[in-house]
A and B are shown apart, each in its own frame.
Chain A
Amino acid sequence: MDLFEYQGKEVLASFGVPVPSGALATTTAEAVAASEELGYPVVVKAQVRVGGRGKAGGIRVAGDVAEVAAAADAILGMDIRGHVVERLWVERASAVAAEHYVSLTLDRSARMHLGLLSSRGGVDIEAVAAEEPAAVARLHIDPLDGLSSEQCRGWVADAGLGDGIADAAVELLGRLWTAYTEGDAELVEVNPLVVTADGELVALDAKVTLDESATYRHVEWEGYVATQAGDDREQAARARGLQYVGLDGTVGIIANGAGLAMSTLDVVAQVGGSPANFLDIGGGAKAEVMAAALEVVNADPKVAAIFVNIFGGITRGEEVANGIVTALEHVDLASPIVVRLDGTNAVEGRAILARHESDRLVSRATMVEAAATVVSLAAQKTATP
């Protein structure tokens, strides 16, 4: 679960990591009111869960009321790499003396946590790491031992953050580690971690990804969960408990199992189509889940044809086929549907589908055949609306 910057800072602050004071605004008036409260100069920052905000003009410094209003007007509604700005974070501008970088995440190959620390913050850290690996101090952290202050001191020295702030850095990194572990984060990244003109260390940005599997032990995440869904389609899917990711194409995809759903997207693209979504309905493929999935995909105005790709394991082909037929009785489909049913008793299942075959429901035996059919149906429909 990726958080907005303001939410990430809230998480870090709750573990004692210093962040600048600020306020959330969804209108220009709110941004102005917040600035008056905070005192000038302020920074007006677009809240989007995507990188490259600064380059897109989504971050502006404002010295007075007029500048705040102009900045808020310009940034609200801005499209940053497909993300429309609906929220602003307005914070007191910091006098920056130096910019560092720090992140904590899991190194899957080492099956240890990995900390990255560099005195070269505020820039594209991936480029720094690629061009000058020695500029990024890497530290593997044992999940059982955690980050000791001794280890942390060596890490700070390796990164060359400067002796003057070593004590403050060790303390801040300890708190960041606690935020990462006790906060059940998959990623905590601060870029830049700044040293202010007063010599204070402050997290000027925060990229925090929380582990959704740990939601059960974090009641305080309720507000973050509520802001997760992107567009209307994702909100509708979320409300029905479906694993859905919205994409831009015309072929709606429903499959059972994440791997099979991904594979379905690939095959549709291979035969020249473009997927409208990823939707995994899980193992069982029950009629009511199928109906909910069809409702969500059917409501997407871009969808011109729907591909239902089911592998029946323990749930047999007949049950899956009957489920699809039942679901179709409950949903008024705007687009034709192509079903590929395979697995246990697939032949029996396909026979049931064949009895209901029409220009709205087509059954194909293989993934590639079904993909070719659904892509040509989608093309026909988009050509003659």
Chain B
Amino acid sequence: MKRVVITGVGLNSPLGNSYEELYESLRDEKCGIEYVPEWEEIDHLGIKVAGVVKNIDFKSIPRKYRRSMDRVAQLSAISTSDAIADANLPQEIISSKRCGIAFGSTMGGNETLFEYIPEIKQSMSFRGQNSMAFLKIMSHTVAANLAQMFSIKGRNIPTCSACTSSAQAIGAGYESIKYGMSDVMICGGAEGIHYLAGGVFDVMGAASTKHNNEPKVASRPFDESRDGLVLGEGSGAVVLEELDHALTRGAKVYGEVIGYATSCDGEHITTPSKEGMMQVMETSLEDASIEPKEIEYINAHATATQMGDIAESSATFNLFGSNTPVSSTKGHMGHLLGGCGVVESIICLIALNKSFLPKTMNFKTLDKECANINVLGENMQKDITIAMNNNFAFGGINSSLIFKKYKG
């Protein structure tokens, strides 16, 4: 088996557009959630707040590539460009058959979708439709666009599984390298903000609606007063590399991926299963060949929904008890859907490299229906070696990744 390390990081999030910015925002307890006035125009949409990415120049993407990208792919392109530059990956490696990509999102380009379909339905004609619309909408738009923009020739694994999209992307990249099929995998995921996602969760009664006038306290994972999730947009990319390949070319190493598992509950389309969550964490621990007590920080999925947080706390407690520090960073930036797995994995790397465990924003009192896990209500400075990132998606899809500090 090959060892897999992370040698490049890029991200665009409501908490900043780089590894260092994200760290500083978490350290300084910033919140990237804000009021979205445009959402007032939508009838029967209770949620009016979201985490929004700022200060990025989409025109930095050449038009040749940008023409087939909606916001979700453009965010991904910028994050990936930054990750490749950070890893100092030369083009001959990127374009070799041993370098691939795994990237996903919940949806393709929603902005284009909302123009394209109504126009065709209304006119019952394709006259006036350009050739790019479908390429922006299709489910694998991100992986396809990134592959052409960066001339990637190896494996291409689109992972479009909503909230586990980018965690599964990292997992697929890790397994590709671990089992010898690739030397380098560029992995990540994204979501562009759109009221569609807000409406979807609102209809199910799972979105926060009580804090539209105070966005910074709207998302309250694990807290007894939580009233649902807040959506966010964002993207992230990591360069995964076989250890010897990275060392040979003198790459810096952010950490090692030592465990991964993905599974499905096979039960209910939306109701989470604590047994399924527990199983995926156990399988990830088995993959890493470590015991639960060796995990020193867990970045929980915890979106601040009633059922999800309860089930996850129970699964986490059953395996790790009440001591292991746990936090959800969705209070800071909302739920990035396809982007959350990779951005929260990058937060695990920050935890390993900066000896910094972020708190759960807006967490004061653990919901009495949650199991008694150690939810961090304050930032913690602690030197740790191993961290776990868990994500769960509609359809009962589960993922668990384990990262280890690289000490040479």
Q: Do A and B come from one complex?
A: no
Residue ranges of A at the interface with B (Cβ–Cβ < 8 Å): none
